[in-house]
Structure 1
Amino acid sequence: MSMRLAGRTALVTGATSNIGRAIAEVFAAEGAHVVVSGRSAERGREVVEGIRARGGRADFVRSDLDGSAAASRALAEEATRVLHGRIDVLVNNAGIYPGDTTAATDEKTFDQVYAVNVKAPFFLTAAVAPAMAEAGGGAIVNLGSWVARLGLPIGALYSSTKGAMETLTRAWAAEFGPQGVRVNAISPGVVLTPVPGEAHPAEAMVKGTPAGRMGTPDAIANAAVYLAGDESSFVHGIVLDGDGGRTGAAVVAG
């Protein structure tokens, strides 16, 4: 690794599995001291132990980001304490995905998904960004999704929350950029950890794309390193598509 994040501190939400875990692991490999955040202490310890075994720096902070401002503020405060007073990079990754149709979605589910996917990162950013600005700057990376711009017949609720996060990315770039805090987003496509010899139904959604395959969590993590580091110092308010060309190019059915 090139140690592109040497000396930085980072808080990654939803970091105990899949994309969030990969981001935490790659950030640590690039030299950052990472706070791994999530609901499962067992999985959090596993991620942290793996990072430390490879020579990286990581700590686990348990947090249930239920959408309350109090939960987001508590995570910001504890992560700041663990990271010795500052958070240089925030990755808003935690989210939940119910795949129901619109008619099958009840009000409780609607409120819960918006609470976790939008309200929680909103108040976490509100707690972290001003402190970043006061400390001289920082970077925030939000996780959107390709389904925010390419409609599917199910999951409208989830898709709309990711659209909200992409909109917030642009608004926050305008709000916090002049204070030295860069805000950008990544829009992952179909991203799954491959299981050797096992096909996945989601493969049908990437057939005919330029990449012609599903993505891996590491691919998104490497994009996050770019947006968090100095190489993207002139990049503000973008949504970086990590979807194998699914939304940017014509899909040719085979």
Structure 2
Amino acid sequence: MNSSTALRGSTALVTGATSGIGKAVAQSLARQGAEVVLHGRDRSRGEALVKEIAHDGGTARFIAADLTDAEDTLRLASQAGDVDILVSNAGLYEFVPTPATDAANFDRHIAVNTRAPFLLVGALAPAMVRRGGGSIVLVGSSAARTPAPVGAAYGASKAGVEVLTRYWATEFGPSGVRVNAVSPGPVHTEGTSAMFGEHIAVLDRTNARGRAGDPGEIADIVSFLVGPASSYVNGSVLFADGGELSSLPG
């Protein structure tokens, strides 16, 4: 069970916080005492989550920003202020074949999934270094290591996240700023429900666990990675995919 005081006195920025994994992460960090800066595109959903967190005894505020826009991403970092925890969760995923992926589509994936965390870390990590500590968690994807017939742009953008995790752990680790990633497999969210529709049950047949994940399960891993219990964990990519299924001959 999460302690209600584990993160008291800290400020956390969570991108993509108004639904799915990001929402579960934001709620979890708020329950542990962090003041949470919520990012999203939909102001009404953001303000609703602020009220929900306040109702549960937590503290949050919302900033709307378009992560496909570099300047808007930097504005988000500026308005977030000094944060002790950054959870880069916002993601774009469109699972289409390569010939159907035009330059604009590819650029959107890179902008949201790779460039946005790059810009946010570049803007926020220096202040963490000056204060002598901080924690950054990037949300990757099993698509970075498990090829499929569609979604190459998404997989490439998330592979970049895993590489950046290791680089930043090396760059900022000596100054007390830990950088890690969680790499989820399929998770039941509003996004996956909309994508798969009546075929959503297929997600439960993709791993050795026999079911897709729940956003709260990923949030628990993020809470571990940002908290004091993981003080010696740096530069790690934690797979949370239920276990890959082995291919049997014949």
Map residues 80-229 of structure 1 onto 2, 5 A cutoff.
80=81, 86-193=82-189, 201-207=199-205, 209-229=207-227
Take 1:209 and 1:65, find their aligned partners in 2: how far apart are those partners?
31
Q: Is the 1:189–1:242 Cα contact (8 Å) retained in structure 2?
A: yes
Q: What is the aligned counterpart of 1:39 among 29, 38, 41? A: 41
Deviations along 1:87-113, one digit per CA (max 9) or x if unpaired, are: 000011111111110011111111121
How far does residue 204 in structure 1 lie from its aligned partner after superposition? 2.7
Provide the secondary structure at the position in 1 that maps to 2:98. Answer: coil
Q: What one-letter code is carried by the residue in structure 1 that aligns with 2:199?
A: P
Q: What is the aligned counterpart of 2:237 among 232, 236, 239? A: 239
Q: Is the 2:203–2:211 Cα contact (8 Å) retained in structure 1?
A: no
How far does residue 181 in structure 1 lie from its aligned partner after superposition? 0.5
Match of residue 74 from structure 2 = 73
Map residues 55-66 of structure 1 onto 2, 5 A cutoff.
55-66=57-68
Match of residue 83 from structure 1 = none
TM-score (norm 2): 0.92
How far does residue 201 in structure 1 lie from its aligned partner after superposition? 2.8
Gaps of 5+ in 2: none
Q: Is the 1:206–1:214 Cα contact (8 Å) retained in structure 2?
A: yes
Provide the secondary structure at the position in 2 that maps to 1:10. Answer: strand
Take 2:246 and 2:169, find their aligned partners in 1: how far apart are those partners?
30
How far does residue 72 in structure 1 lie from its aligned partner after superposition? 2.4
Q: What one-letter code is carried by the residue in structure 2 that aligns with 1:43?
A: R
How far does residue 251 in structure 1 lie from its aligned partner after superposition? 6.1
Q: What is the aligned counterpart of 2:228 among 212, 216, 230? A: 230
How far does residue 205 in structure 1 lie from its aligned partner after superposition? 4.5
Deviations along 1:39-62, one digit per CA (max 9) or x if unpaired, are: 110010111111111001111111
How far does residue 250 in structure 1 lie from its aligned partner after superposition? 2.6
Take 1:209 and 1:29, find their aligned partners in 2: how far apart are those partners?
30
Q: Is the 2:21–2:189 Cα contact (8 Å) retained in structure 1?
A: no
Match of residue 5 from structure 1 = 7
Q: Is the 2:184–2:239 Cα contact (8 Å) retained in structure 1?
A: yes
Match of residue 26 from structure 2 = 24
Provide the secondary structure at the position in 1 that maps to 2:99. Answer: coil
Take 2:72 and 2:144, find their aligned partners in 1: how far apart are those partners?
26
Deviations along 1:175-194, one digit per CA (max 9) or x if unpaired, are: 11011110000001110149
Q: Which moved more, 1:157-166 or 1:103-112?
A: 103-112
Q: Is the 1:38–1:63 Cα contact (8 Å) retained in structure 2?
A: yes
Q: What one-letter code is carried by the residue in structure 2 that aligns with 1:44?
A: G
Q: Is the 2:35–2:59 Cα contact (8 Å) retained in structure 1?
A: yes
Q: Is the 1:142–1:165 Cα contact (8 Å) retained in structure 2?
A: yes
Deviations along 1:107-153, one digit per CA (max 9) or x if unpaired, are: 11111211111111101110011111101110000010011101111
CA root-mean-square deviation: 2.0
Q: Is the 1:72–1:124 Cα contact (8 Å) retained in structure 2?
A: yes
Take 2:147 and 2:62, find their aligned partners in 1: how far apart are those partners?
36
Take 2:92 and 2:50, find their aligned partners in 1: how far apart are those partners?
22
Gaps of 5+ in 1: 81-85
